[in-house]
Amino acid sequence: MDILLVYGGRSAERRISLESAGFVAEVLDAAGHNLIRLEIGAKGEWTLDDGPVQLRALPESWKLAGQDGVVDFDLVFPVLHGPLGEDGTVQGLCEMAGWRYAGADVMTSSLAMNKVATKRMFEWRRLPVLPWITVRASRSLSTSELTGELSPPVFVKPARLGSSIGITRVDNLDRLEDALDHAYSYDCLLVVEKALDRAREIEVSVLGGPDGASASMPGEVLPGKEWYDYEAKYECEDSRLVIPADLSSDLASRLKTTAEKAFEVLGGTGFARVDFLLSPKGDLYVNEVNTIPGFTSISMFHRLWEASGIPPKRLMERIISEALTRRRIGRERPVGE
């Protein structure tokens, strides 16, 4: 199959995308697919297999043209993390263009990328979330709003980013203003959330399908720092993944069911990694859903599937088949339907 691998991007998570794309390319290539590489540069420019590219909005299906003419492909595989990639924008472009694409659709992507929208959907479905409020840049947060359940320690986060970028843990109100300023430098929409002390970080991979979502076994992240910040994620050699997570079978199965529900309430298309925080007492909270989770050779997403009996090549085939059979909005029915 001819697959257009789209990677790089403008977001602060660009570097991670380059690493993830390397691994995805290796697996797709080994599975015999023909890869066409489209890199989105840090300033948003597109480069197709090292040359300039044009987008032609033709009737039915838009076309990409490189130096040697039109480039045809069967599927787009976006490996972009963060805004303008993981958030439904690139997926929307694919819908407009009439291109099938791997991973979550527009709605699942944009809901999952937005921590405010995600939490509202979780609350609606009665999935457990930590106490939180939303703050917009247009309005300052008075300290009186941070009382009771929401008194420090809290986490201040940009609503639509990932990789822990722009996030600060605030233990003391004196630090709140700086934390808000820092998060505002990335997004005008923020989340302030009660910190869960000594939380365990448990993650579950999910795959969408015509009969609903299916979940992998849970894994655990041991951050190697006080919390899983950018450095702990990508630079700290002490961070470790434990697969499977050391949990009772009851809790493991509750995590799987909750991960499926969390994914489905956001639309349940494509694939995702659902992240939880588990208190020392055993209380479980859904933290977030990543629709294009890290995909480097050591990433949790595919390692959880591998431990659950689906190695990377088969995982890719599942992802591709879900993408090819998904019913598209405003388009023809798939063959045989």
Write down the least CB distance from residue 175 to ligand ADP, Å. 16
Give 278 or 316: the residue with its C-beta nearer to ligand ADP.
278
Query: Do residues 48 and 36 touch, judged by C-beta distance below 8 A?
Result: yes
Residues 199 and 287: their CA atoms lie apart, in Å, by: 11
| Interior angle at CA 210, CA 206 and CA 212, nearest 5 | 45
Write down the least CB distance from residue 277 to ligand ADP, Å. 6
Say how many residues make up the chain.
337
Give 79 or 199: the residue with its C-beta nearer to ligand ADP.
199
Give 193 or 260: the residue with its C-beta nearer to ligand ADP.
193
The H or E element spanning position 262 is: helix 249-265
Beta strands at 240-242 and 219-222: parallel, antiparallel or unpaired: antiparallel
Spatial neighbors of 295 by CB under 8 A, at least 6 apart, are 20, 21, 23, 24, 79, 301, 302
Write down the least CB distance from residue 193 to ligand ADP, Å. 4
Give 201 or 260: the residue with its C-beta nearer to ligand ADP.
201
In the complex, which residue's CB is closest to ligand ADP?
Answer: 228
| Interior angle at CA 235, CA 234 and CA 240, nearest 5 | 70
Write down the least CB distance from residue 69 to ligand ADP, Å. 40
Residues 169 and 154: their CA atoms lie apart, in Å, by: 6
Residue ranges in contact with ligand ADP by CB under 6 A: 130, 155, 157, 161-164, 167, 193-196, 199, 201, 223, 227-228, 275, 277, 287-288
Give 193 or 220: the residue with its C-beta nearer to ligand ADP.
193
Beta strands in 25-123 (DSSP E): 34-40, 46-48, 51-52, 54-56, 63-66, 69-71, 75-79
| Interior angle at CA 298, CA 258 and CA 306, nearest 5 | 55
Write down the least CB distance from residue 139 to ligand ADP, Å. 22
Write down the least CB distance from residue 229 to ligand ADP, Å. 7
Give 253 or 279: the residue with its C-beta nearer to ligand ADP.
279
